[in-house]
Each structure stands twice: as C-alpha cells, then as structure tokens.
Amino acid sequence: MKKIIIAFCVAAILLLFCVPAFALGGEVVFNVNGNMSSVELTSSSTLFIKYEGGFVKYGVGSTTYQISYESQTNYDVTIVNEDTGVEIDVFNFDTSTDWSYSVGSSGHYSMGISYTSSVPTYSITFNSNGGSAISTLTYQQSIPVDINTAYIPTRSGYAFDGWYRNSTFTTVVSPGQTLTSNITLYAKWHAVYSITFNSNGGSSISLLTGRTSIPSDIQFSSSYLPTKEGYTFDGWYTDVDLMSQAVGGAALSANLTLYAKWIDVNNSSVFFLYPGGNSETIYYGSATNFVLKQSGDRIRFGLGTTSAFSVSRYIAYDPDYLYDFEIINEDTGASITTGTRIVSGDVYSWPFASNAHYSVIIHKYENVSNRLIFDTQGGSSVSPIVCDEVPELEDIPETTRDGWIFNGWHYSPTGENFIVSGDAVVGTVTVYAHWIGFNHLHLNPNGGDFLGEYLTDLSYDYVPEALPRVYRAGYKFLGWYYQDGSEVNAGDQITGTVYIFAYWEQLDTTGLSFEDGYRQGQADAEAMKSIINNGWSVFYSGFNDFTHSTTIGGITIISLLATIVVVVILFFVAKLFFKG
C-alpha cells in the first residue's frame, strides 16, 4: 500500500511538470538585428515577410511588424522550426520578396532578419597637435558637415583655425566629402595673446583675450575709456613711463599690459574736431601750446611743445587731399587763425593760456581748385562736381524731397538766378536747390500778360489775399477763375496743383488803335467813356508826356479842348460886344 501511495505521488509530480508544456500553444520568435519580439500561436496561421511601400513587413497571422528598407543594405532572412531544429528557408530579401509559410498552433518557430549596409565605412582620427583630444569617429561614409563646429579642440594660448587633411596644413578639410579610406585630420592653431589694462587709479577695463593685435579703436572707443574723478583720460601707453602710445591695429607677439595716462582737470580745455567725425575735449592745467606737425603719412596734433607732446592725437595724411585748420577762442568767440593750410613737413605752434577755452577744427578737402557744391536745402544729397564751367543741366543729378517739387539749381538760396550751362566755376561755388510745394497755384493769364515781376507757380496751402496783376489790351479783367468756372476767392484751400485762369470781358474798341504800347485811335465819346469807366485811362499811369494823346475823329483831345475854350471865349466876347 505504501508503495502504491509513493508511485501515485511521483506520477502526480510528473504530471504537474508535464501538463503545462502540453497545455501551452505554439510561438514565433522574431530576431531583427538583435531586437527580439514574439507572438503566441493560438491557431494555425501564416508566417510571412514581404516588401511593401518602402518597408520590410513581417509577422504572423494578423500581427505585422515593419522596418524601413534601405536600397544599399543587405537583408538576410532565416526561418527555423525550433521544435525540430530544421531551417525552413534561408534567403536574401529584396523588393521582389513576398514569402509566406503555414504554421500550426502548437509549433515553435523563429525568423531572424539581419542586415548590414553595403556602403563601406571608414574611421576618422583626430590629431589635435597639442590641443584637447577628440575621439575617433568610426563607421563614417563621409566627413561630418559640422566637422569644424562640433569637433573643436582647445589649447591654452591658441585659437583653433580648423581641420586639415595633411600635417603641413595645405589642404583644408571639406565637410560632407565622401570617404574612400580611413583618414587622419590635423588641427591648425595660431597663437593668441591677452591685453591687460592698468588704469592707474581709474575705472577698470576688462581683460582682452584671444587677441592677435591691439584693437584699432583702442584710443577712442567707449569700451576702452576709463574714468577718473578730477582727471581727463589721455590715452593708453605700452610702457609704465607713459612714453610710447599704443597704436591701434599693431600686431601682438606676447601678452601686453597697457597703462592709462591722465591729466589733471583745470578750468582750461580745448575741443578738437577732426576728419572722420572724431571729436574730443581735452583738459589741461597750466598754460601750454597747441602743436601740429605733418610728417610722413600722419598729421600729429595736440598739446605740449614742438619737441615733445604732452597730449597727442593723429590722423592719416593723404597728399591727394588738402588740409587746413582753424583755432577759436571760445571765451571771446574770436578766431585766432582760420583756414591755415597744412603743408607737408610743416610744424605749427600757438600758445594756449590757462583758465581759457579753445576749439581746434581740422578740415580735409579734395585737392581740386574749381568745383560745384550742391546745397539741397532739405533734399537728398548730391555729390560735388569738379569742373571749370557749369555742365549741361541735364547732366547734373536732381535731388528729391518728400512733399516738394524740384525747381532747379540757383545761385541764391531764395530761388533767384538760375544756373546756366557754361557759367564759369572759379574756386568752390555753391548752388542751391529751389523747391515748390505740392500744394501750389499755377496762374494762366489766359491771353493776357503779367504786370511787373511775377511767378507763375505759387506755393500756398490757401489762396492769398493778393494775386499778381494782369492786363490784356482791349479787355476788362473780371477776376481769377478755376477750371470748372467757379470764381477764385482768397482763403480757398489748395490741394496739390491747382490751375486758375484770368477771366476777361472784351470791350468795344471800335475806332481805337494800339500802337507803340500806348492807346491811340478814334472812337466816339460813348466808347471812350465806356473804356475809361472799365478801368482804362487815356494815358498810362505815371506817363506825363502829353505829346502822346488820344484822338477822336482824327482830332486830338487837347486840340478839341483848346477849340472849345476858344469858342467859349469868343462867345463871351461876342455877347459883351452885342450888349454894348
């Protein structure tokens, strides 16, 4: 009995371990380049792999997986019956593949898909030439496009100049270039230096690093100008004794310290204005001298003596240009010197008193004797023209001005005296643009003439009280009218260009003739009366030569009046005679 019980227990244990194995269904395991996945089989299904729409699609039954298909990649497929260890199929996958296989619900299968690119790859090794290490790049088909930005080594005291294909730095690397073998890239460097600023008691200026030269604006840029209460800054010097002034743009060969020079502030100053739009106020203490020297390619100027500057500045000297300067005493407004020409090799010196204020202005001109200068009076600029006479007007550029119409170049800023082609140009001649506003009246005398000086275009926003006077022989002026026939009245608003016309009424001038600018002719008394009543006088206003008179019926009015007087006298004489 005991043996039976033991046998039963052993059978139960065996059954416990065996039943799950028999109870479980089949399975398909997928291995894609080491990435594992599995699908449990609950019924007979179809195992498949195929190309579709740019993808490698594989799976079993209704379960589908996919990976992108790359044209330059080899895909190897192996399907195995894991229950028997037999390979069901082995093949290379391509775009024509459409493979399938029926599997039972209890079987165990595997599908392996391995792929490798058919394009060869190479390694890129970096030689940093003393810089920090850059890790080797492997499996590269081409040089990375960001090779000079993402793979930058560092080296103390040097700046990176890029990667090169050779150690002599004659072939620069080409980002994105296709590789055909393993390569080594070499880092190129250039030495850089730092500039330290010793402000000598002034405000601090930040250290400059990575420099190959002194900044070109070292002496005047606000970035490098320290301040010190009670002093004015007088420049940076390369030596502690303040004897050698730093030159902007000078190359560096070692780290550099610059030293600030200061001048005590006193109630004395000189304002410098010189070419290049540069200006500066320098304060000085006791009496000194303004000194200017031309030597070589520089004009040096400042304060001190002709043998030693205490404050100095300089500008480049170009012999193709003319230079002069003027000195003004700002306390009195008087010019100490004006237009003093700076000649090559000259040395000038003028005393500056203490407790005084001066201005020094240095000018630079084109080295020409005759030229036209254009004052556009608010319009766009026009460059000067070098000439001995005014060129053809159409060859002179026009200027433009918003809201105005250009009305030519004139010798006067108020618009008189048009320039004329061929006019002589002696020295520097300034001509001025004349403008007509967009809102203006254009006057048409409509067959008449203007009296005295006149402008046919008047720039107004409203019609003025008085308009130019006009006359027309044989007509009476009735006023100014718009194109639509309405009368022009003072105060009418003007928008844009408005044209107005003189309106005339013809007079009865039967028997009247007009010769030599005077009214002459014949007419009856009523016609003469009508003419006089309508604004015409027998003689022009201001004309007192009575030898020119109006005639009626060939008899002058003076003669007629004389005859009437004679007749009246004779009448009274006769009356007295007969009465007596």
SS (H, E, C) 139-176: EECECCCCHHHHCCCCCCCEEEEEEECCCCCCCECCCC
Mean pLDDT of 231-250: 89
Position 544 pLDDT exceeds 70: no
- Residue 228 is predicted with a pLDDT of 86
Query: How far apart are the C-alpha atoms of 113 and 107, rounded to whole Å?
Result: 20
pLDDT band at 70 (very low <50, low <70, confident <90, very high): confident
Q: What is the pLDDT of residue 551?
A: 42
Q: What is the pLDDT of residues 401-439, one digit of tens each?
A: 876 788 889 998 877 788 988 998 887 788 988 887 767
Cα–Cα distance, 239 to 343 (Å, whole number): 32
For the ranges 148-162, 169-183, 531-545, which has the lowest average pLDDT? 531-545
Given this model, what pLDDT does residue 454 score? Answer: 57
Taking residues 26-33, report their average pLDDT.
93
**Tens-digit pLDDT profile for residues 145-171:** 888 888 999 998 899 999 999 999 999
CA distance 219 to 236: 7
Q: Is residue 539 pLDDT above 70, yes or no?
A: no
* Residue % of the chain over a pLDDT of 70: 81
- 35-49, 167-181, 220-234 — which is least confidently predicted? 220-234
Task: Report d(CA 349, CA 484) in Å as an integer.
Answer: 74
464-516 pLDDT, tens digit per residue, is 888 888 888 889 999 999 988 899 998 888 887 788 999 999 887 665 544 43
Rg (Cα) of the chain, in Å, rounded? Answer: 53
Confidence (pLDDT) at 562 = 64
Looking at per-residue pLDDT, the higher value among 539 and 314 belongs to 314
pLDDT of residue 3: 54
Specify the pLDDT at position 287: 87
Over residues 87-132, the pLDDT tens digits come to 999 999 999 999 999 998 899 999 999 987 767 888 999 999 999 9
Do 392 and 354 contact (CB within 8 A), yes or no? no
Summarize pLDDT for 369-399 with one digit per residue, the tens: 677 878 888 788 787 787 888 998 888 888 8
What per-residue confidence (pLDDT) applies to 52?
A: 93
Pairing type for strands 193-198 and 256-264 reads: parallel
User: Count of CB atoms within 10 A of residue 285's CB?
Assistant: 13
User: Residue 560 pLDDT > 80, yes or no?
Assistant: no
| Residues 492/462, Cβ–Cβ less than 8 Å | yes
> Residue 165's pLDDT is what?
92
Nearest to 311 by CA among 324, 339, 292, 330: 292
> Quick one: pLDDT at residue 16?
43
Residue 23: pLDDT over 80 = no
Q: Confidence class of residue 538 from pLDDT cuts 50, 70 and 90? A: very low
Among 172, 175, 174, 182, which Cα is nearest to 140's? 182
What is the DSSP-derived secondary structure letter of residue 300?
E
- Domains of the chain with CATH codes: 11-117 (no CATH), 122-191 (2.60.40.4270), 371-437 (2.60.40), 440-506 (no CATH)
Q: Tell me what the pLDDT averaged over the chain comes to.
A: 80
Per-residue confidence (pLDDT) for residue 267, from 0 to 100 = 67
Per-residue HEC secondary structure of 53-64 comes to: CCEEEEEECCEE
For residue 59, the cross-strand partners are 48, 64
